[in-house]
Chains A and B, each alone.
Chain A
Amino acid sequence: MLLVKAKNFVRLAAVVVLITSISVFSAGCGIFGGDDYPSSDIEWYVGFSAGGGFDTASRIIAEEMSTDLGTNVVVRNLAGGGGRRAAQEIHKAPADGYAISIMNMPNQILAEKIDPQGVNFNNLSWIGRAVIQTYGLYTAADSKFNTPAELAAAGDDIRFCLSGLSGHSFLVASVTTEVMKIAWNPVTGYKGAETQAGLLRGDCELALGPMAGSTLSAVQSPDFKALWIYEDDRFAPLPDVPTVKELGFPQLGGGKFANNGLVAASPGTPDDIVKKLSESFDRALQDPDVIAGINKKGMAVSRLSPAETSSVVDGMSGIVSEYLELVRAKSQSR
């Protein structure tokens, strides 16, 4: 009897020791909380090739966050599918805060809606917004068109130089022409400075794009003129260019068509880890060297909290869903 009691006592003691050990070990590993987070390198996925705008902005911010967090934040380029490869990686990454990604919105939301691959952007753990680029419409300086009314009254189809039939600029062109009652045709295959060459050659009458970098330089030169900005308030680098709100089309304003560089962690990342990441991210975006470095790339730093970023994503998803059938109809009619 005494032997049985002794055996039971030993078993009980062993279980207590085991549970205590696991608790101590787990606390050391941070399983029950983010107290020791981060304890290893954080990977920052960029869905575009090295050297581009979002890539450089990511590297600048990541370097600052490395110092702030006391661990390496390593940028990893996962170019492919217009950013979809990185989006898929972050979507299926473990929810431990050791992988984050920057995304080009609403471009990637539109791509996912047109060709679904199972990425739900509303489920990601949003950290914040890094950069924003105001969208605008521009034309050659000697163009006879200056107002929406003149474009609507043109008679012939107005040609837009665009990159393709599924990107951000096609979405904005589709919505703009629908709202302003402009008859139009896309001319595809134009990227960056090729768009400006196309306008000067007369391949097309209008072009759309983020008012940043070389496009902003071109619009500020004597060769081109911006007709309007998709905002409610005037854009400081182009103070004489009216907004769509001023022109009587507020439904196109509010920055809903701006290019956003949003940063997220994988779905289900614990709140305390998201908080640590977003606070570090926000501090980095307030650093003067970071701001200067991003401005040099032709982008503007524009901070948002995780909740605000999530709200922006919801809003963009709504807009894309609202106009998705229009975009599909326009692309299929070409």
Chain B
Amino acid sequence: MIEAMIAALANMSDPAVIAAICLGTLLGVIFGVIPGLGSVIAMTLIMPFTFGWDPIVAMYVFAGIIGTASTGGAVPAILLNTPGTIANVCTTFDGFPMTRRGEGGRAIGLAATASGLGTLFSIVVLAALLPVAKLLILWFTPPDFFWMVILGLIAVTFASRQNMVKGLAAGGVGILLSLIGFSSVFGVRRYTLGSEYLWDGIEIVPLVIGFFALSELMVYTSRGGTIAQDAKVNLGGMKQILRGALEVFQHKAILFRGSIIGTVIGAIPGAGGAVANFLSYSTAKQASKNPELFGTGHPAGVVASESANDAKDGGILLPTLTFGIPGNGEMVILMAAFILHGIQPGRDLLVNRLDIVWAIILGVIGAQILTTIVILAGGAWLAKISLVPVKYIAPFVAILSLIGVYAVRSNIWDVLLAIFAALVGFFMRKAGFPLITLIIGFVLGHLAEEKFTQSLQISQGDYSIFFTRPVSIILLIAIVSMLGWSLYRSANPARANSESN
């Protein structure tokens, strides 16, 4: 293992490897910045071109894309209230309010640095756990997974504390939407209305783009003006960027907790960056002495969100590299790339191809460092976007977003779904319904059903399977504690805050 790492480090001085990392970084940032595109499309597009390349060099390109797309996605999340990827949704909650008061550069500095540190943390954890990863993957069973998903759904209640009824209602709608489609568990169609389009269920990218990107465009188009409320505000240039970058270290606990959450959630196949992002934000808000500041442009909110969504990169590589189990769309494409280059994913990778494993690990690190530097250096210039009148930005972002939606499956109905979601999202915003709880319900709903059913099939109908494993018990205690603390806090807010202090 160590020898392979040293050999890979030495390899990084090869001009071809440096060029590959730069290419991966460039693609990751561009596809991350443009809403709806993301790393999956970037990897899919570049894959055929890598046919015939040295497999190691090709892996550096893919690692670069994986490591940087969600960092790039923070930029539109902060400046335009439009998450570049689904993993950047919570960054909009505090990043955009900071832009509105002329602190977009500071938010970008916070995001870029938190992302970089989150990724580095998770990659170090990945490298340390590789020798025992197989045992960890096997240790986590479907009932444990079920409770982890329930934990994520419980966190919906914290995100909707301002209006719990509306938040839970939106979460419930999200869960119902997740059930649409052909159920391989039960072998029947559900709520497809006879439509072949809905046979696969609702695709998440059109939903997220519609709810978050397009509906937001409608909101500020109807308002007019510029994104930064005061067009004469001094954005502060590089000084503000660096202020944000250094400010991350004032939130060390949040940074550390977000990195752990991102790494752990990332390692759970299917959970993904959105859940990591959301859980980290929710727990940071719950644990804060001033939870009411979250959502108003609080730097801690940006740190919590961005550290987690990039820390998932290391976590998600764990089941993929050790077992060949892809945790999300990126990993599915990565595994396809392995096979294209004659590399067998799974057990064979860790036994015979450690050079590939280290290429990916070092590629993610290298690309993330490069991205952080590039975004910090360009942040002052990027922040000026907030001074451009929305009538110029809106059509441009709308077209790019819809192109991104179409690119997923080449299906025009996805575009129509995105537009419909935009209309619904616009009215939901006006009525005060939080969209994030709907998305979390959507992401986790079908996972909860799948793992619940799987667990009962394993136990052949015996419900005690949910209460007998140590991991399940720990998660159950965590869920009960979270609910208990939340109820206590609601009943005794002043006392709860003084106890926190």
* Interface locus among B167-175, B246-254, B342-350, B483-491: B342-350
Check: A312 CB closer than 8 A to any chain B CB. Answer: no
Q: Report the minimum CB–CB distance from A63 to chain B (whole Å).
A: 10
Q: Which A residues are CB-close (under 8 A) to B453?
A: 188-189
Kindly name the residue among B137, B184, B325, B454 whose own CB sees the greatest number of chain A CB atoms within 10 A: B184
Digit string of A285-312 for contact with B (CB within 8 Å is 1, else 0)?
0000000000011100000000000000
Q: Is there contact, CB below 8 Å, between B324 and A166?
A: no
A80 touches B411 (CB 8 A): yes
Q: Which residue of A has the minimal Cβ distance to B48? A: A59
Structural contact, A217 and B185, CB atoms closer than 8 A? no
Closest A residue to B47 using CB positions: A51
Q: Does B132 contact A (CB under 8 A)?
A: no
The answer to the question of B16 belonging to the interface, with a C-beta cut-off of 8 Å to chain A, is no
> In the docked arrangement, what's the CA distance between A157 and B182, Å?
27
- Tell me if A250 counts as interface (CB < 8 A to partner B): no
List residues of A (56-89) whose CB comes within 8 Å of B's CBs. Answer: 56, 59, 76-82, 84-85, 88
Whether B196 contacts A194 by the Cβ 8 Å rule is no
User: Which of A81, A159, A197 is in CB contact (< 8 Å) with B200?
Assistant: A81
Which residues of the other chain, B, contact A51 by a CB distance below 8 angstroms?
44, 47, 332-333, 336-337, 340
Q: How far is the CA of A204 from the CA of B346 in the complex (A)?
A: 20
The number of A-B residue pairs with CB atoms under 8 Å apart is 130
Q: Please encode chain B, from 178 to 222, with 1 for each CB lying within 8 Å of some chain A CB and 0 for all others.
A: 000011111101000000110110000000000000000000000
Residues of B within 8 A of A193 (CB): 323-325, 345-346
In Å, the complex CA distance between A119 and B224 comes to 51
Q: How far is the CB of B464 from chain A (nearest CB, A)?
A: 16
User: Could you tell me which residues of chain A, from 187 to 203, have a CB within 8 Å of some CB in chain B?
Assistant: 187-189, 192-194, 196-197, 200-201, 203
Q: How many residues on the A side are at the interface (Cβ–Cβ under 8 A)? A: 53
Nearest-neighbour CB distance to chain A for B235, whole angstroms, equals 41
Residues of chain A in range 259-285 having any CB-CB distance to chain B below 8 Å: none
Instruction: Return the contact of B141 from the options A85, A117, A167, A203 (Cβ within 8 A).
Output: A203
Residues of A308-334 at the interface with B, using a CB-CB cut-off of 8 Å, are: 331, 334
B339 within 8 Å of A by Cβ?
A: yes
A223 within 8 A of partner (CB): yes
CA distance A296 to B266 in the complex (A): 30
- Residues in A178-221 with C-beta less than 8 Å from chain B: 185-189, 192-194, 196-197, 200-201, 203-204, 213-214, 217-218, 221
- Which of B196, B326, B460 contacts A85, CB < 8 Å? B196
Please tell me if the beta carbons of B269 and A194 are within 8 angstroms of each other in the complex.
yes
Interface residues of B in 373-410 (CB under 8 A from A): 409-410
Instruction: Tell me if B431 counts as interface (CB < 8 A to partner A).
Output: no
Report yes or no: B199 in contact with A80, Cβ–Cβ below 8 A. yes
Chain B contact-residue range equals 35 or more
For residue B457, which residues in chain A have a CB less than 8 angstroms away from its CB? Answer: 159, 185-188, 334
Q: Who on chain A is nearest to B341 by CB?
A: A296
Given contacts A196-B323, A197-B325, contact A213 B344 (CB under 8 A): yes
Q: Contacts A80-B411, A194-B325 known; A163 to B184 CB distance under 8 Å?
A: yes
Decide if A114 is an interface residue (CB 8 Å cutoff).
Answer: yes
Asked if B142 is an interface residue, CB under 8 A from chain A, the answer is yes
Within 8 A of B (CB), among A147-178: 157, 159, 163-167, 170
B128 contacts the other chain (CB 8 A): no
CB distance from B415 to the nearest CB of A (A): 14
- Would A297 and B339 count as touching, CB distance under 8 A? yes
Contact partners of A185 in chain B: CB under 8 A: 457, 460
The answer to whether A296 touches B342, judged by C-beta atoms less than 8 angstroms apart, is: yes
* B458 lies within 8 A of chain A by Cβ: yes
Q: Does A239 contact B (CB under 8 A)?
A: no
A192-B138 in contact given A115-B189, A117-B196, A186-B457 (Cβ < 8 Å):
no
Asked if A188 meets B324 with Cβ closer than 8 Å, knowing A84-B199, A297-B339, the reply is no
In Å, the complex CA distance between A331 and B183 comes to: 12
Chain B nearest CB from A119 CB (Å) reads 11
User: Are the CB atoms of B344 and A188 closer together than 8 Å?
Assistant: no
Q: Can you pick out 6 interface pairs between chain A and chain B where the beta carbons lie within 8 Å of each other?
A: A50-B336, A163-B184, A165-B186, A166-B182, A196-B323, A200-B138
Going nearest first, the 10 A-B pairs with the smallest beta carbon separation are A164-B184, A51-B336, A165-B187, A193-B324, A166-B187, A81-B199, A187-B457, A331-B187, A193-B325, A189-B454
